[in-house]
A and B are shown apart, each in its own frame.
Chain A
Amino acid sequence: MAAPRYGSPLKRAVTFYIPLVLMVGLTLFPFYWMVITSIRPDVELYNVKANPFFTLYPTLQHFHDLFELTMFARWAWNTLFIAVVSTAISLFCGLLAGYALARLQFRWASPLGTMIFITYLVPPTLLFIPLGDVVKTFGIGDTPWAVILTYPTFLIPFCTWLLMGYFKTIPREIEECARIDGASRIQAMIRISFPLAVPGILSAGIFAFTLSWNEFLYALVFLSSPQQKTIPIGVFTELVRGDVFYWGPLMAGALLGSIPVALVYSFFVEHYVTALTGAVKG
Chain B
Amino acid sequence: MADQRIEPILAERASAAASVVPASVAVAVPEARRPTRLGQLLEREHILAGALLAPTLVILTLFIAYPFVLGIWLAVSDKVVGRPGNFVGLQNFWVNVNDTIFLRAFQNTFVYTFIATALKLALGMGAALLLNHHFRFKRIVRAGMLLPWIVPTVLSTLAWQWMFDATFSVFNWTLMNVGLISKRILWLGDGTMAMGCLILVNVWRGMPFFAITLLAGLQTVNPDLHEAAEIDGANAWQRFWRVTLPLIKPIMMVVVLFSMIATFADFQLIYVLTRGGPYSSTHVFGTYAYEIAMRAAQLGQGASISLSLFPFLLAVIVFQLWYIRRSD
Contact in complex: B168, A1 (CB < 8 Å): no
Does B56 contact A269, Cβ atoms closer than 8 Å?
no
B76 within 8 A of A: no
Evaluate contact between B42 and A185: CB separation under 8 angstroms: yes
**Using a Cβ–Cβ cut-off of 8 Å, how many residues does chain B contribute to the interface with A?**
119
Closest to B265 in A: A123
Contact B52 A97 (CB under 8 A): yes
- Chain B residues contacting A216 (CB-CB under 8 Å) are 152-154, 267-268
Hey, what's the 0/1 contact readout for A178-207 against B, CB within 8 Å counting as 1?
111111111110011000000000000000
Is the CB–CB distance between A262 and B35 below 8 Å?
Answer: no
CB atoms of B12 and A262 under 8 A apart: no
Segment of B23-31, B94-102, B113-121, B187-195 engaged in the interface with chain A: B23-31
Residue of chain A at shortest CB distance from B4: A185
By a CB distance below 8 angstroms, the chain B residues around A96 are 52-53, 55-56
**With an 8 A cutoff between CB atoms, is A69 at the interface?**
no
**Beta-carbon contact of B223 and A129 below 8 Å:** no
Is the pair A30, B160 in contact by a Cβ cutoff of 8 Å?
A: yes
How many interface residues does A have (CB within 8 Å)?
Answer: 113
| Complex Cα–Cα for A45 and B64 (A) | 45
Of all chain B residues, which has the CB nearest A175? B27
A19 nearest CB neighbor, chain B only? B130
**Would you call B133 and A16 a contact (CB within 8 A)?**
yes
- Encoded as 1 (CB less than 8 Å from any A CB) or 0, chain B from 253 to 268 comes to 0110010011011111
The residue in chain A whose Cβ has the minimal distance to the Cβ of B72 is: A130
> By DSSP majority rule, is chain B's interface helix, strand, loop, or mixed?
helix
Chain B residues in 8 Å Cβ range of A214: 150-154
Assess whether B162 is in contact with A104, with CB atoms less than 8 Å apart: no
Query: Does residue A59 face the partner (Cβ distance < 8 Å to B)?
Result: no
Contacts of A170 in B (CB 8 A): none
Give me the 10 closest cross-chain CB pairs, A-B, nearest first: A123-B265, A2-B223, A254-B155, A106-B46, A130-B70, A182-B14, A100-B52, A182-B15, A130-B71, A258-B151
Question: Chain B residues in contact with chain A, CB under 8 A?
Answer: 1-2, 7, 10-12, 14-15, 18, 25, 27-30, 32-33, 35, 39, 42-43, 45-46, 48-50, 52-53, 55-56, 59-60, 62-64, 66-68, 70-71, 74, 126-127, 130, 132-135, 139, 141-148, 150-156, 158-163, 165, 167-168, 170, 173, 204, 208-209, 212-213, 216, 218-219, 221, 223, 226-227, 236, 244, 251, 254-255, 258, 261-262, 264-268, 272, 285-286, 289-290, 293-294, 299, 302-303, 306-307, 309-310, 313, 316-317, 320-321, 324
